[in-house]
Amino acid sequence: MQQIATGPRVESLLSDLVSRAGRDDPYPVYAALRREAPIARSPEGSLLLTRYADCSAALRDPNIGHGDPTDEQDVAGLTDWREHLSLRQFRTSMLSIDPPSHTRLRRLVSGAFTPRRVAGLQPFIATSTEQLLDEMAPECDFIATFAFPLPIAVIGELLGIPRADQSQFQHLARDWTQVLDVTTPRILARADVAAGHIREYLAELAKERRQRPREDLLSAMQGSDGQDPMNDDELLTMAALLFAAGFETATHLLGNGLVALLNHPDQRDLLAAKPDLAAGAADELLRFDSSVQIARRKVLRDTIIGGVKVSAGERLIVCLGAANHDPDRFTDPGRLDLNRADGGAMSFGGGIHYCLGAPLARLEAQVAFPAVIRRYPELRVGAPLHRRVSLTLRGFLRLPVMT
Task: Supply the pLDDT for residue 30.
Answer: 97
Dump the DSSP string for 28-45: HHHHHHHHH-SEEE-TTS
Whether residue 166 has pLDDT greater than 90: no
Predicted model pTM? 0.91
Calculate the CA dihedral of residues 231, 234, 239, 240 and round it to 10 degrees: 140
Whether residue 401 has pLDDT greater than 50: yes
Query: Domain 8-402 - what CATH class?
Result: mainly alpha
Q: What percent of the chain has pLDDT over 90?
A: 60
Whether residue 325 has pLDDT greater than 50: yes
Distant-in-sequence, close-in-space partners of 322: CB < 8 Å, separation ≥ 6: 26, 27, 30, 31, 33, 34, 49, 50, 51, 55
Whether residue 75 has pLDDT greater than 60: no
More confident residue, 323 or 243: 323
pLDDT tens for 195-252 read 999 999 999 999 999 889 988 888 888 875 556 788 888 899 998 888 877 778 899 9
Name the burial class of residue 150, with classes exposed (0-12), middle (13-18) and buried (19+) by CB atoms within 10 angstroms of its CB: buried
Helix (H, G, I), strand (E, B) or coil at 303: strand
Neighbours of 71 (CB within 10 A): 6
Q: Mean pLDDT across the stretch 152-179? A: 85
Q: Mean pLDDT across the stretch 344-353? A: 93
Least confident window among 14-28, 56-70, 122-136, 137-151: 56-70
Q: Mean pLDDT across the stretch 257-269? A: 97
pLDDT tens for 354-395 read 998 899 999 999 999 999 999 999 999 998 899 988 888 899
Ordered by start, the domain boundaries in the chain are 8-402
Dump the DSSP string for 219-266: HHHTS--SS----HHHHHHHHHHHHHHHHHHHHHHHHHHHHHHHH-HH
Q: Mean pLDDT across the stretch 45-53? A: 95
Dump the DSSP string for 61-90: -TTEE---TTSS--BTTBTTGGG-HHHHHH
Phi and psi torsions of 329, nearest 5° = -115, -35
Query: What's the one-letter identity of residue 70?
Result: T
In which band, very low, low, confident or very high, does the pLDDT at 72 lie, cut at 50, 70 and 90? Answer: very low
More confident residue, 210 or 122: 122
Whether residue 70 has pLDDT greater than 60: no
Distance CA 322, CA 347 (A): 10
